[in-house]
Amino acid sequence: MEETTTKRQKLSSVEYNAEDKSNEMSQPFELQEIHILNLPNEILLYIFNYVNISSRKVVSEVCRKFYELICIVERDCHPLELSFQQIYNEDVRISIINSSREFNELTINHYSQSTSILENIKYVNDVTQKFGARLRKFELVSDGGRVSTLKESQLIKILSSIPNVEVLVLNNIVVKSEQNPDDNIAEFNLHKLKELTIDECYLNSLIIFKRIPKDTLRKLTCYLNSLTIFKRIPKDTLRKLTFTSDPVDQMQFQQFLNQQRNIKKFELFDMTEVKFNHLKLEHLKISQNCLMNIPEVLQQQPKLLHLDSATTLFNDEAFAAMCELKNLEIAKIIIDEVSGNVFQFLRQLVNLKELRLESYCCEEWKNLRELSVMPLNIEKLTLLYCDERIPDEIFIQSSQNLRKLKHIEIVNISIQIINTILQYFPNLESIYFGFGYIYGVPDDELIINEQLNCENLKQFVVVNIDDDLEENSRSLLKLVSLCPNLERIMLSQLCQTVNEDLQQILNDHPKLTHLSLEFTHFQFENETIELIRSTRKRLQLIRLAGLSSLPSRLILEELFEADFPYINDNPSSSIELILKKRNITDWYLNFKDMDSY
């Protein structure tokens, strides 16, 4: 009784002290900055009063309890990605299976060149049997340049253990048919399945897909060397279809397509005679190899919202047909064969929010000059004019009419365009500039107007420049410093850059969360380490490429792993360091590998 009273007194003291500390910390702070090590010592000491520290078993049980509570707090917060090597390792596998983690997304990546998944599938089954019931998304992929092979029965067993999955992805998988498969087995218990992606797979049997329940799929993405798989997909189930295979039997594909009347999003490549007038599409993407009658196709799709024909030349007839789509919100086209008179029809698209124009034939900029005087409501504008500098007056005039423009992407040979755009579009939120040719040299020098007002700019990206002119690098860094509210920065080919420049970027941008810098040469030093660690609470991703050297992997993990669980050193031919927090995507890849550019 006396012991209980003493502990209550201690608790009261802890509560009082904690309240005092809380008053002292009256400044607002974000939830993610709370760390158990920042708790008042009194709270931790109070907890330890209940631990018999002379018993290792008791201490171990307390630690286990802490771990289980953390797993509850983090339930479904972090998708789990496991390599096959981790699953193959008995100690790691047992640790995973015996853990208290709860997650609804699981990726198993088999990129081993030596370990066969076919012969060791039981280890995968151990994991899916334990966690499969909670999974909403499951991916079985092979990224190591080696195709992973499974038997039908093995894949069936995996799928049978994930009854609540909604998104299923198979990548680079070969499924081997077996002798005398039981064709009467009941369909899979996958009634919640909505999206199925089969990427670079070979399935030489239909037994798997005969068991997918009817009326479940809403999205199917297939990259196959055979179309026989489509015959087993129930009628009128698909909502989204992306087909990017090599040329296949057009008749077979047409038969499949005729059975799907509810597709809303359709992307196809290398098709010449496909008819889809029975569909009521909202999103259509076609490639330059789709030799179809585009005006006729557009007339058959009056409810189209998104048209992506970024690799297909539009003539006057096709452009005029596009401008009849009253609901169109996004248009991406090449306009080399569109005359100035027909280009004026663009005014009819009153709901247009995003416009992407590409041309290799400027013709005195007639179409862009016409665009600059149109009072459009677009929020995003992309211009790909690689061969000649876009005249400044086009941007100056456009600034008077494109009042709602927030995002602009330019591919051109003039780097000075960046200054012009920021000067006349002060309300921009993001700007992307790419050089006209991959890693080319600009034909001018960037001169900055230091009176620029760029307070609204949140994202600044300059890529694909192979320029060793230090003045341009200095100007880019100066320009970035004039944008105090940037959240994401990506710059390429920075010359003569030192740690003081990195420190200036970090100091000037308190809202910065994503930083990607590519250098011609950069010395990674102790000062660099301290700079990164000083901003670890707000930075979600930092990428430094073109480094002269890096510490060992072990040292990097010791330095950064507590704050950046994902560490990738030297992922390419250059010396490169990538640090990411959990669940952060490789944002910079959106600009390094823009396939449409």
What pLDDT, in 10s, does the model give residues 362-416?
777 889 999 999 999 999 999 998 878 899 999 999 999 999 999 999 999 899 9
Mean pLDDT of 459-485: 89
Question: For 105-134, how does the pLDDT look when each residue is reduced to its tens digit (9 = 90+)?
Answer: 888 887 655 556 667 788 888 888 888 888
The residue that leads in pLDDT, 162 or 246, is 162
Per-residue model confidence (pLDDT) at position 519 = 93
Q: What's the token pair of residue 140? A: 């079985």
Mean pLDDT of 37-61: 73
Burial letters 70-99, b for 16+ CB under 10 A, else e: eeeeeeeeeebebbbebbbeeeebeebeee
Per-residue model confidence (pLDDT) at position 572 = 57
Q: Is the pLDDT of residue 591 over 70?
A: yes
Q: Give the span between the Cα atoms of 187 and 217, in whole angstroms.
A: 14
Per-residue model confidence (pLDDT) at position 12 = 41
Q: Is the pLDDT of residue 135 over 50?
A: yes
* Cβ neighbours of residue 139 closer than 8 Å, sequence gap 6 or more: 106, 107, 108, 168, 169, 170, 171
Q: What's the token pair of residue 267? A: 């992307």
Question: For 224-235, how does the pLDDT look when each residue is reduced to its tens digit (9 = 90+)?
Answer: 544 544 454 556
Mean pLDDT of 493-500: 92
Q: What's the token pair of residue 412? A: 């051109």
Per-residue model confidence (pLDDT) at position 15 = 39
Question: Per residue, what are the HEC states of 316-341?
Answer: HHHHHHHCCCCCCCEEEEEEEECCHH
Q: Is the pLDDT of residue 309 over 50?
A: yes
Q: Which of 52-61, 237-246, 513-522, 549-558 has the lowest mean pLDDT?
A: 237-246
Q: What's the token pair of residue 126? A: 């151990």
Per-residue model confidence (pLDDT) at position 31 = 36
Tell me which long-range contacts 182-191 makes (C-beta under 8 A, separation of at least 24). Answer: 183/207, 183/210, 185/156, 185/211, 186/211, 187/211, 187/212, 187/213, 188/156, 188/159, 188/160, 188/212, 188/213, 189/160, 189/163, 190/159, 190/162, 190/163, 190/165, 190/216, 191/216
Residue type for position 186: A
Mean pLDDT of 174-188: 60
- DSSP characters for 91-126? HHHHHHHTS----SEEEEE---SS--TTTTHHHHHH
Q: How confident is the model at residue 237 (pLDDT cuts 50, 70, 90)?
A: low
Mean pLDDT of 152-158: 82
Per-residue model confidence (pLDDT) at position 1 = 44
Q: Give the span between the Cα atoms of 419 and 42, in whole angstroms.
A: 56
Q: Give the span between the Cα atoms of 124 and 217, in whole angstroms.
A: 25
Per-residue model confidence (pLDDT) at position 21 = 38
* Cβ neighbours of residue 363 closer than 8 Å, sequence gap 6 or more: none
Q: Give the span between the Cα atoms of 218 and 133, in whole angstroms.
A: 21
Q: What's the token pair of residue 576? A: 């490169």
pTM, 2 dp: 0.74
Residue type for position 45: L
Question: For 20-37, how does the pLDDT look when each residue is reduced to its tens digit (9 = 90+)?
Answer: 433 433 343 333 444 566
Q: Measured between alpha carbons, how far is residue 550 from residues 200, 493, 504 in Å?
A: 36, 19, 22
Among 253-257, 302-306, 357-361, 558-562, the range of highest mean pLDDT: 302-306
Mean pLDDT of 52-61: 74
Q: How confident is the model at residue 57 (pLDDT cuts 50, 70, 90)?
A: confident
Q: How confident is the model at residue 242 (pLDDT cuts 50, 70, 90)?
A: low
Q: What's the token pair of residue 327? A: 């609901």
Q: What's the token pair of residue 109? A: 């990546």
Of 98, 95, 117, nearest to 108 by C-alpha is 117
* N-to-C CA span, the chain: 76
Q: Give the span between the Cα atoms of 474 and 537, in whole angstroms.
A: 28
Per-residue model confidence (pLDDT) at position 160 = 85
The enclosing H or E element of 393 equals helix 392-401
Return the residue matching tokens 């003539």.
Answer: 315
Per-residue model confidence (pLDDT) at position 367 = 93
Q: Give the span between the Cα atoms of 538 and 77, in whole angstroms.
A: 19
Per-residue model confidence (pLDDT) at position 200 = 65
Q: Which of 316-330, 458-472, 502-516 has the lowest mean pLDDT?
A: 458-472
Q: Is the pLDDT of residue 490 over 80?
A: yes
Q: Give the span between the Cα atoms of 575 and 546, in whole angstroms.
A: 6
Question: For 254-286, how does the pLDDT look when each residue is reduced to its tens digit (9 = 90+)?
Answer: 776 787 777 788 877 665 677 888 889 999 988
CB-CB contact of 541 with 579 (8 Å): yes
Question: Mean pLDDT for the chain?
Answer: 79
Three-state DSSP state, 139: strand
- DSSP characters for 8-50? HHHHHHHHHHHHHHHHHT-S---GGG--GGGS-HHHHHHHHTT
Q: Give the span between the Cα atoms of 350 and 570, in whole angstroms.
A: 48
Per-residue model confidence (pLDDT) at position 589 = 81
